[in-house]
Amino acid sequence: MPDPELKNIALLIDADNTTPEGIDPVLTVMAELGQVNIRRAYGNFAKDNLSRWDKITNKFGIRPQQQFDVSKGKNATDMAMTIDAIDLLYQGKVDGFGIMTSDSDFTPLVTRLRQDGIIVYGFGEAKTPQAFKSVCTRFIDIKQLIMTNAADAPNSGKGGRKDSSTVDDELDDLILAAYSEAKKDGGFARLSQVGQIAGNRSSFDVRNHGFKSLKEMFESFDNFVLEHRDDNQVYVKRLR
């Protein structure tokens, strides 16, 4: 049987509004969707504050898209990224996008891409406006992703991530609501369905909270029990 065709994914980077340290873990996440064949970073790389991108672009095969500042207060980078994204959309050769930025100006772009059924992962800082986070299929906090990645690295000395997890009341409410909707007789809910419901309600992603998987996150909760069944599915049940 031939291998299924890998999906073609584009990663577009707003270099003015993100950090090059996040490239490696971001590419790892994007591999979930397919092969990241298109990798472009946009910015005025003549500026001193973007000098760190020099070695990063070569190391990860990212194509720099130089955008000079046409006039003060105007952002040519945003326009170039948006035009390229729409071009890729209409060429019909891209199955998903990663957008690295903390700029809410890209909210209309992501909304347009999603209207065509395109998966869009957003990567930015925690302070990124909610408007942008909400329209992404998934929004992932780059700094939290870097921390989680570092905790998993050999010789990190941390021995796990639970000390860096950020489970707050908002997450608790989201998880409980998703569990309540997914649970069946006996109080058990299929773990994958809980994750799907939570993802449909928001840009929820466990990596924003210091975990690598939904299973790992539920294992850290003392008010849920997990059960592995013969159908190769994991089920969860609330204890209290």
Topology, domain 165-238 = Nucleotidyltransferase; domain 5 (3.30.420)
Work out the average pLDDT over 191-217: 80
Looking at residue 148, what is its pLDDT?
Answer: 75
User: 147, 206, 142: which is closest to 171 by C-alpha?
Assistant: 206
Query: Structure tokens of 169?
Result: 């009341």
Looking at residue 75, what is its pLDDT?
Answer: 76
Task: Output the CA angle 92-97-101, nearest 5 degrees.
Answer: 140
Q: How many whole angstroms separate alpha carbon 57 and alpha carbon 34?
A: 20
Query: Structure tokens of 125?
Result: 């800082």
On the question of pLDDT at 111 being above 70, the answer is yes
Cβ neighbours around 100 below 10 Å, total: 26
On the question of pLDDT at 200 being above 70, the answer is no
Q: For the chain, what are the domain ranges?
A: 8-152, 165-238
Among 3.10.50.30, 3.40.50.1010, 3.40.980.10, 3.90.330.10, name the CATH number for the domain at 8-152: 3.40.50.1010
On the question of pLDDT at 48 being above 60, the answer is yes
Label residue 86 by pLDDT band (50, 70, 90): very high
Instruction: Annotate 168-207 with b (16+ C-beta within 10 A) or e (fewer).
Output: eeebeebbeebbeebbeeeebbbbebbbebbbeebbbbbb
Fold identical between 8-152 and 165-238? no
Q: What is the pLDDT of residues 116-144, one digit of tens each?
A: 999 999 999 989 999 999 999 999 999 98
Residues 6+ apart with CB under 8 A from 142: 18, 19, 22, 25, 26, 100, 123, 124, 125
Higher pLDDT, 156 or 55: 55
Work out the average pLDDT over 22-34: 87
Work out the average pLDDT over 12-39: 89
Looking at residue 183, what is its pLDDT?
Answer: 87
Q: What is the pLDDT of residues 90-101, one digit of tens each?
A: 999 899 999 999
The identity of residue 131, as a single letter, is A
Work out the average pLDDT over 66-92: 84
Label residue 4 by pLDDT band (50, 70, 90): low
Residues 6+ apart with CB under 8 A from 7: 33, 34, 35, 95, 96
pTM: 0.72
Q: What is the pLDDT of residues 143-172, one digit of tens each?
A: 988 887 666 554 444 433 444 455 677 778
Query: Structure tokens of 232?
Result: 């190769």
Three-state SS for 143?
helix
Portion of the chain with pLDDT greater than 70, in percent: 85
Q: How many whole angstroms separate alpha carbon 194 and alpha carbon 217?
A: 12
Cα atoms in the Cβ-side hemisphere of radius 13 Å centred on 183: 16
Looking at residue 1, what is its pLDDT?
Answer: 40
Label residue 51 by pLDDT band (50, 70, 90): confident
Looking at residue 202, what is its pLDDT?
Answer: 62
Label residue 213 by pLDDT band (50, 70, 90): confident
Q: How many whole angstroms separate alpha carbon 138 and alpha carbon 61?
A: 24
Q: In terms of residues, how long is the chain? A: 240
Three-state SS for 226?
strand
